[in-house]
């Protein structure tokens, strides 16, 4: 297990390092997005992969799989995510939220049949949204430059560092049985991509420049999450419309990386 974890972590860090080096060679005058030229190129790459592979699979999945089954699959992976949401709540000193997260995992993993049924929400245990990037921000780390990571989508430097820890800790990506691991990762990719289909339609109709729209929405949303929905006043003054469903799941293609790491 340690060997698999180490290889995946080193591989992902190498990817981030390469992105940072290449991005540094393509700086622009935009303080919000200093490597915009590089980011747009990576954005186009990600869009191409999505259009050729992920979106068709998501449409097929959406058309064929019944709604209760799709909900169950989403709940299953959400239950796994709740474990690390709880860890980050604890690291941020949010003991009450961490206890609620633990309660969600306990309830949904037992009477919810491994998380396929979300009884916890019905019982009043609210689902939170935390990650290592937010934990870094909670303790004072600045966001750094905006960055589009190949296959993962929009990030900033702080969130990219948090993403490295997310990749390292992901229990699905660290399953030793390669067929089982890749099947679960592929299912998670398709499930998450399917959830974006309605939001994508709104963005396609509303955005004159999809890249700028997603960038601004991502930065606004992450700022809001860092401050638990109450960012400083100046953040509201510069706020732009966004679709939270779209920005929340922009890392779904990142599972492709884990699938490609087929260690025995």
Q: What is the pLDDT of residues 5-64, one digit of tens each?
A: 555 545 545 555 554 544 455 555 678 899 999 999 999 999 999 999 999 999 999 999
What average pLDDT does the segment 220-228 reach? Answer: 95
pTM, full prediction: 0.81
Average pLDDT of the chain, as a whole number: 85
Q: What is the pLDDT of residue 202?
A: 85
What average pLDDT does the segment 249-263 reach? Answer: 46
For 109-119, the pLDDT digits (tens) are 999 999 999 99
Interatomic CA distance for residues 237 and 33, integer angstroms: 19
Would you say the C-alpha torsion 128, 197, 219, 149 has a positive or negative sign? positive
Interatomic CA distance for residues 259 and 183, integer angstroms: 9
Q: What is the pLDDT of residue 32?
A: 86
Q: Judge whether residue 181 has pLDDT over 90.
A: yes
Q: What is the pLDDT of residue 8?
A: 52
For 76-111, the pLDDT digits (tens) are 999 999 999 999 999 999 999 999 999 999 999 999
DSSP single-letter state for residue 51: I
Highest mean pLDDT among 21-35, 112-126, 158-172, 240-254: 112-126
Would you say the C-alpha torsion 178, 180, 184, 187 has a positive or negative sign? positive
Q: What is the pLDDT of residue 38?
A: 96
In this structure, what is the dihedral angle of CA atoms 123, 126, 131, 134, given to the nearest 10 degrees? -160
What average pLDDT does the segment 166-190 reach? Answer: 94
Beta bridge partners of 147: 155
Interatomic CA distance for residues 176 and 126, integer angstroms: 32
Q: What is the pLDDT of residue 122?
A: 97
């Amino acid at each position: 297990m340690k060997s698999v974890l180490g290889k995946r972590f080193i591989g992902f860090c190498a990817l981030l390092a390469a992105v940072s080096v290449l991005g540094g060679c393509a700086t622009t005058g935009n303080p919000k997005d200093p490597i915009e030229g590089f980011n747009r190129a990576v954005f186009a790459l990600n869009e191409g992969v999505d259009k050729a592979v992920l979106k068709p699979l998501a449409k097929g999945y959406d058309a064929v799989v019944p709604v209760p089954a799709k909900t169950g699959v989403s709940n299953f992976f959400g239950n796994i995510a709740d474990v690390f949401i709880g860890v980050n709540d604890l690291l941020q000193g949010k003991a009450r939220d961490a206890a609620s997260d633990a309660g969600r995992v306990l309830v949904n993993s037992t009477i919810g049949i491994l998380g396929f049924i979300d009884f916890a929400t019905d019982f009043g245990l609210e689902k939170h949204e935390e990650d290592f990037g937010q934990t870094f921000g909670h303790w004072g780390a600045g966001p750094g430059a905006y960055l589009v990571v190949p296959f993962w989508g929009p990030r900033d430097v702080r969130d990219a560092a948090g993403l490295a820890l997310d990749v390292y800790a992901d229990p699905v990506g660290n399953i030793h049985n390669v067929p089982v691991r890749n099947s679960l990762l592929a299912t998670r990719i398709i499930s998450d991509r399917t959830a974006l289909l309605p939001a994508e339609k709104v963005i396609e109709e509303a955005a004159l420049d999809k890249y700028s729209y997603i960038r601004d929405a991502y930065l606004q949303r992450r700022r809001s999450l860092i401050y638990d929905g109450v960012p400083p006043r100046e953040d509201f003054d510069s706020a732009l419309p966004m679709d939270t469903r779209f920005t929340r799941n922009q890392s779904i293609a990142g599972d492709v990386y884990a699938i490609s790491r087929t260690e025995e």
